[in-house]
Amino acid sequence: MPITDLLERNSKLYGDEVALVEINPEVQETQRVTWKEYALIQPTSTAPYRREITWSVFDEKANRVANLLLSRGIQRGQKVAILLMNCLEWLPIYFGILKTGAVAVPLNFRYTADEIDYCVKLADVDILFFGPEFVGRVESIADELDKDTLLYYVGNSCPSFAEDYHWLVSNFSSSAPKILLDDEDEAAIYFSSGTTGFPKAILHKHRALTQSARMEALHHETTHEDVFLCIPPLYHTGAKMHWFGSLFTGSRSVLLKGNSPKAVFDAVTQERCSIVWLLVPWAQDILAALDRGELDAKDENLAQWRLMHIGAQPVPPSLIKRWMEYFPHHKYDTNYGLSESTGPGCVHLGMENIHKVGAIGVPGYGWKVKIVDEHGQTVPQGEVGELCVKGPGVMVCYYHDEKATNEVLKDDWLHTGDMAQQDEDGFIFLVDRKKDVIISGGENLYPVQIEAFLAAHPKIHDVAVIGLPDKRLGEIAAAIIQVKDGCECTEAEIEEFCGDLPRYKRPRKLIFAPVPRNATGKIEKPKLRQQYCAERLVEAQNKA
């Protein structure tokens, strides 16, 4: 079943029910817009605090987008890109693209102009929808794009080099286009996060998207009555596929434009959210705000919040332990995945397995997992090897990159590049990225394990461990430590705390500095290595 069928079903079954709510906490709460008003008006120069649309309006807007694209000659298999911050227009545009049989290409809102240009050309994009935040970047590359590439502006005061999306779609029918789709049609290209180099274009079919929707609903027991709070960017498979659980059940979702602890709590209380997906830094910020007394976990309006889950990066067990002290009634899950596996869920902990916090879990619905050595042979239980996954959500290929595709796809198994081990109960523990393993004096050090240990220190807000070059040992482990606001911490305190680590695992260099993370919460280790390896080289040269 193509993913668009779910939207059309929801429009028929739940047409008058609210599907999506957008909340902008940066705007003073003076204007709220109902779905009826939103369906009739153009966006004003003053953004409303809250907007909402029903399932029927959602579907009608997607149909208008589809009919616009078809009028411009878009055909099955052609590529249409989306460069928007999270907003109420995002998902109707996405589904409008899919309804034509075209391929949706979401773009990272952090991309520079050069990266936008690179990704648009790599994916053979014919049309680009973009928002007001990107006018400067898009204008700077407009002349470099293919002369046939169309630019549609989603916002107020349309620039001269683009066409006005809102004016355009208002002139097209809200009836569904007569395009037959099936599971094997290509649906979307997602770009890798770029933490391992320049982004790769990851191609998925409709079957992968539909499977992820069914899986998300099953994993988290999502019902029609649940309300999902979506904070991460919709361009990323993580946010999109978690939202697909709401699509599968026809339940309401809230798009929160902000991630401050107060904004999260306000959204949960005002919109009665029951499921919240957080990234590690946001969970850390909430705990810090609770510790300072800025938030109250006992607020009775939080009672319906039943599930907090985390994905996109390893989760320190100490974080979840602290979370459960504040929210003992919460269920918890963690989800492992890659854009190459249609995002989160190919491995997940499971809400009933909180006693296994620290593990990424067991194979998800419809998935198989194995851990292999450098020769592709399955390793004995308990030994470290590369994690491989196989299932209906595995990508078709890296678009226009056969060599890279063949390196990771072997006999339908996706080689993730993540090092893992399985315990006696069958639970999988992520050890580290293959490329991040530090070899120090012949010993393999896994930064994730050291980071999880250090994260339990009461003064540490965030931590990243990287390898730095060393003349004698080859590499040494360096810990970049971000101290909690208002705390002072010394090297001596950290060294004493590390007394419980085996000597060879102890960081040999401590750096007190901010820990950079990308929009999906992953530590930007290439950036850290580039910075501190260069500094290490200068230090060595000065000593010489």
In a domain, 271, yes or no: no
In a domain, 82, yes or no: yes
Q: What's the mean pLDDT when you consider all of the chain?
A: 88
Residues 411 and 458 in one domain: no
- The sign of the torsion formed by the CA atoms of 242, 247, 248, 251 equals positive
Whether the predicted pLDDT of 468 surpasses 80: yes
Q: Which of 402, 433, 464 is the last residue of a domain?
A: 433
At 27 the pLDDT is 65
- The sign of the torsion formed by the CA atoms of 322, 522, 464, 257 equals negative
- DSSP-assigned letters across all residues of 10-32: HHHHSTTSEEEEEE-TTS-TT-E
**Rounded Cα gap, residues 348 and 241, in angstroms:** 14
In a domain, 18, yes or no: yes
Q: Which residues contact 480 (CB under 8 A, 6 or more apart)?
A: 463, 464, 465, 466, 511, 513, 515, 528, 532
Residues 14 and 66 in one domain: yes
Furthest-apart CA atoms within the chain: distance in Å: 74
38: CATH: 3.40.50.12780
Residues 28 and 159 in one domain: yes
pLDDT digits (tens, 9 = 90+) for 428-438: 998 766 677 78
Identify the band that residue 541 occupies on the pLDDT scale cut at 50, 70 and 90: low
Residues 208 and 174 in one domain: yes
Identify the band that residue 30 occupies on the pLDDT scale cut at 50, 70 and 90: very low
Whether the predicted pLDDT of 48 surpasses 70: no
Whether the predicted pLDDT of 51 surpasses 70: yes
Residue whose tokens read 């590439």: 149
Q: Which of 375, 401, 433 is the last residue of a domain?
A: 433
Q: How many CA atoms lie within 13 A of 118 on its CB side?
A: 12
In a domain, 263, yes or no: no
Identify the band that residue 543 occupies on the pLDDT scale cut at 50, 70 and 90: low
pLDDT digits (tens, 9 = 90+) for 328-382: 999 999 988 888 999 888 999 999 998 898 889 999 999 999 999 988 999 999 9
Residues 444 and 428 in one domain: no
Percent of the chain predicted with pLDDT > 70: 91
Name the pTM for this structure.
Answer: 0.82
Are residues 457 and 442 in contact, defined by beta-carbon separation less than 8 angstroms? no
In a domain, 272, yes or no: no
Q: Which of 414, 433, 452 is the last residue of a domain?
A: 433
In a domain, 266, yes or no: no
In a domain, 275, yes or no: no
Residues 99 and 38 in one domain: yes
- Number of separate domains in the chain: 3
Residue 479: domain span? 437-543
Residues 191 and 322 in one domain: no
Residues 509 and 535 in one domain: yes
Identify the band that residue 38 occupies on the pLDDT scale cut at 50, 70 and 90: very low
* Cα–Cα separations (whole angstroms), residue 253 to 50, 76, 154, 226: 13, 29, 21, 8
pLDDT digits (tens, 9 = 90+) for 382-427: 998 999 999 999 999 999 999 999 999 999 999 998 889 999 999 9
DSSP run (H or E) holding 422? strand 413-422
**Rounded Cα gap, residues 110 and 97, in angstroms:** 22
Whether the predicted pLDDT of 87 surpasses 50: yes
**Rounded Cα gap, residues 466 and 457, in angstroms:** 18
Top pLDDT among 35 and 77 is at 77
At 374 the pLDDT is 87
Residues 450 and 409 in one domain: no
pLDDT digits (tens, 9 = 90+) for 477-509: 899 999 998 889 999 999 999 988 878 788 989
Residues 124 and 64 in one domain: yes
CB atoms within 10 A of CB 133: 12
Whether the predicted pLDDT of 123 surpasses 80: yes
pLDDT digits (tens, 9 = 90+) for 299-318: 878 999 999 998 766 677 88
Top pLDDT among 527 and 521 is at 527
Residues 370 and 485 in one domain: no
Residues 290 and 238 in one domain: no
Give the N- to C-terminal CA distance of the chain in Å, as an integer.
66
pLDDT digits (tens, 9 = 90+) for 226-275: 999 999 889 988 888 999 999 999 999 999 998 899 999 999 999 999 99
493: CATH: 3.30.300.30
Residues in a beta bridge with 20: 53, 253
Are residues 534 and 469 in contact, defined by beta-carbon separation less than 8 angstroms? no
Range among 37-41, 472-476, 530-534 rated most confident: 530-534
Output DSSP code: residue 136. Answer: H
Both tokens of residue 83?
């460069």
